[in-house]
A and B are shown apart, each in its own frame.
Chain A
Amino acid sequence: KNEVEQSPQNLTAQEGEFITINCSYSVGISALHWLQQHPGGGIVSLFMLSSGKKKHGRLIATINIQEKHSSLHITASHPRDSAVYICAVFTVGRGSQGNLIFGKGTKLSVKP
């Protein structure tokens, strides 16, 4: 069983739609990261969450530590939002250093 599960795997939306991507995890974590990967391959950090909610522009990320669940929302989606969105959890460290465990990603396509 994957330690980090994302849904959906693929998502197609029309420009302007409200989008939600979900992430569930089964391990103890110290933080959860939402990342964006564009077709060129580079990974950009969007949010780092350990509790509650964060907002940056049209992006909102929430986390429920008790339920081990996080959501990434995009309001008023735009074709430039098309990318793969990856949930990654930072595990409680074994020894001196923890590690990021990645979900498989959600491929988002926003049509004009």
Chain B
Amino acid sequence: EPEVTQTPSHQVTQMGQEVILRCVPISNHLYFYWYRQILGQKVEFLVSFYNNEISEKSEIFDDQFSVERPDGSNFTLKIRSTKLEDSAMYFCASLWDVGGTEAFFGQGTRLTVV
């Protein structure tokens, strides 16, 4: 059973510090996404990525956020200077094709900013 792997599962960081959340999508998938879920709220879109570039990003995805796929396997989300309100569960998802195929989600990284 293919799976999306996210590390770490839980990260605690000081406000103002940089964090990097890592995701290993399914190897033959082409479309990648980051979502976040603040505790008690619904899952929100952050950014989509295809062909080594950002396809679309939400209003949440401001200049403190960046994504990259440095080595063709890992897909990372960097938050440059964390704020308290960045505390959330961050999910990575990958799809082989858009629209008509199953979305595979990682188990999430719980980020706590203190």
Residue of B at shortest CB range from A93?
B98
Number of residues from A at the complex interface, CB < 8 A: 29
A11-19, A69-77, A98-106 - the one binding chain B: A98-106
Contact B98 A42 (CB under 8 A): no
Q: Is the interface of B mostly helix, strand, loop or mixed?
A: strand
* Interface: B79 (CB within 8 A): no
Q: Which of A30, A86, A103 contacts B99 (CB 8 A)?
A: A30
Contact B103 A42 (CB under 8 A): no
Q: Bound complex: CA of A96 vs CA of B99, how far in Å?
A: 11
Give residues of chain A (18-62) contacting chain B, Cβ–Cβ below 8 Å. Answer: 30-31, 33, 35, 40-45, 48, 50
Give residues of chain B (83-114) contacting chain A, Cβ–Cβ below 8 Å. Answer: 89, 91, 93, 98-108, 110
Contact B99 A41 (CB under 8 A): no
Residues from chain B with Cβ under 8 Å of A100 in the complex: 33, 35, 45, 93, 103
Number of residues from B at the complex interface, CB < 8 A: 29
Contact A103 B108 (CB under 8 A): no
* Interface: A1 (CB within 8 A): no
Residues from chain A with Cβ under 8 Å of B18 in the complex: none
Residue of B at shortest CB range from A40?
B107
Contact B105 A41 (CB under 8 A): no
Residues from chain A with Cβ under 8 Å of B75 in the complex: none
Contact B100 A50 (CB under 8 A): yes
Q: Which of B98, B100, B108 contacts A41 (CB 8 A)?
A: B108
Contact B44 A96 (CB under 8 A): no
Residue of B at shortest CB range from A46?
B102
Contact B43 A41 (CB under 8 A): no
User: How near does chain A come to B40, taking the closest CB pair, in angstroms?
Assistant: 10
Contact A104 B98 (CB under 8 A): no
User: How near does chain A come to B92, taking the closest CB pair, in angstroms?
Assistant: 10
